[in-house]
Amino acid sequence: MWHNAFYLVPGVLLAATVLYAWQAKQAARRVSDPKGLPGRGIALLEAAFLSGGPGRVFDTALVRLHRRGHVVVSRSRLVTLTATEPVDEVDGAIVDAIGPSRSRDLDSLRVAVMRAPAVQAVGDALAARGLLRNPERLRRARTANRSIWLAQAVTLAFAVAALLLTSDEPGSDGPSLWIPLVLLVLGLVSLLVTRPPKGRVTPAGRRQLGLMDTGKPWHPHHGVFVSGADAVLLGAVAMGGLALLGADGLGDAELHEAMLAAAAGDQSARAFAAAAGTGSSSSGSSGSSGSSSSGSSGSSGSSCATGPATWCGSSSDSSGSSGSCGSSGSGCGSSSSCSSGSSCGSSSGSSCGGGSSCGGGGGCGS
């Protein structure tokens, strides 16, 4: 019976991995700043991030600057800055990324702005409110859940070792096989119990998008362009993306063509749209341009420093702080050309949630 003591090691390992996976799952679902759903009063860039991720934020902010006459985008995808009067931190991130030369190619500009702390902060604010899940915590929860498979493999290995050791002992009754069997069953049950939530958009986030989809065009209710055709245009870009809007809807075929080309091959918008159930799968809505990586924003394997330009997620609960997204403090700004194959993920934006009306009902937890 001494061979049964072998199972103490896999038993302790299984208990430790299950506890770790449970805690990681709870952390992934934690909401640090629960509020009521903002309804149709959500801020413009928050709506863009919730619908399509950081690339949609860039698209919306650039179209807004273009409508104000602050930037010119050529068919060759060169963005020229004509005025430096940002209305928020995301506008400021675009101005900073363009740099003192006052012009930059659209592909590298898009990735640099998506990685900027200002855009990161938009996603962090939504995650703190419970409308999105923090990607770093989601990755940790998936890794912790997979560690249970390691404990299962160790249990099986110990069971085989115990059988082999007792096979050479005449008259031995052998180890009790019910012990590893129970451990394996408990491990399988634990895999189901500690399975992390799927997708970046929480059920509360999907309800929020549902509140905005009433069959009428959505437009921002505060900030610049709060009324008129520009408000409807920006709302359409934020909620549906450039591809769904079309060149006629945007009113500038050259701008539309350049921005769609810059966003070609993006995967993060599809991941956000699929998780949100918005049905928008256009490559022009969000994500990384110029990056050869095709990993989605929902993948757990890619790090923020080497993966596609998507949302890293702040390691802090505070919506006001954001990870540097693989750079040291500068947020991967305009100093480096980010159009190469290894671009870091991110999101940004100012914390725009403070001005939203919160009459939408219950908390936003997942």
Give tens-digit pLDDT for 39-57.
Answer: 888 999 999 999 988 999 9
| Mean pLDDT score across all residues of the chain | 74
Contact 357, 38 (CB under 8 A): yes
Task: Please say whether the beta carbons of 48 and 59 come within 8 A.
Answer: yes
> What DSSP letter does each residue of 146-191 carry, written as one string?
HHHHHHHHHHHHHHHHHHHHHHTSTT-----THHHHHHHHHHHHHH
**What is the rounded distance in angstroms from the CA atom of residue 179 to the CA atom of residue 232?**
65
C-beta atoms surrounding 75 within 10 Å: 11
Bigger pLDDT: 171 vs 123: 123
**How far from each other are the two terminal CA atoms of the chain, in whole angstroms?**
48
- CA–CA separation, 334 vs 25, rounded Å? 36
Question: Residue 171: pLDDT band by 50, 70, 90 thresholds?
Answer: low
Q: What integer is the mean pLDDT of 292-317? A: 44
Evaluated on CA atoms 189, 194, 198, 201, the torsion sign reads positive
pLDDT at 88 over 80: yes
CA neighbours closer than 13 Å in the CB half-sphere of residue 247: 10
**339: amino acid identity, one letter:** S
Q: What is the pLDDT of residue 268?
A: 60
CB atoms within 10 A of CB 30: 17
What residue type is assigned to position 228 of the chain? Answer: G
Is the predicted pLDDT of residue 344 greater than 80, yes or no?
no
Residues contacting residue 284 through CB under 8 Å, at least 6 positions apart: 59, 241, 242, 243, 259, 260, 263, 264, 266, 269
Range of lowest pLDDT (72-81, 179-188, 245-254, 305-314): 305-314
Strands laid side by side in the 71-73 sheet: 71-73, 78-81, 103-105
